[in-house]
Amino acid sequence: MITNDYIILAQQGMHARPATILIRLVKNFKSAVSLKRGDKTVRLNSMLNILSLIIKGGETVTVIVEGEDEVEALRAIDLFFTEQLKDI
């Protein structure tokens, strides 16, 4: 299991469009991926799960990846949070 913290760079936070892109990205991997904000953790398999966290710009979230391709999955997720999210 690998975990990593990210600051949400998009001013609008995690709304429907970036949530959909993140779910599509995660579906490319066999590993189970979860997102945590505060004391609530959700699986990244549903847009409603992500939206239920009400993640705002500037907040910190934790990504939890567990599975056979967790390193590759976290690399792709890292790119999403550090480069792509701010442009969505």
**Neighbouring C-beta atoms of residue 53, cutoff 10 Å:** 19
Evaluate if residue 88 carries a pLDDT over 90: no
Cα(31)–Cα(84) distance, rounded to whole angstroms? 21
Q: What is the mean pLDDT of the chain?
A: 96
Let me know if domain 2-87 sits in CATH 1.20.1250.20.
no
Domain ranges in the chain are 2-87
pLDDT (0 to 100) of residue 86 = 86
15 is catalytic: yes
Q: pLDDT by residue (tens digit) across 30-60?
A: 999 999 999 999 999 999 999 999 999 999 9
When pLDDT is cut at 50, 70 and 90, the band that residue 67 belongs to is very high
Catalytic residue among 2, 6, 15, 43: 15
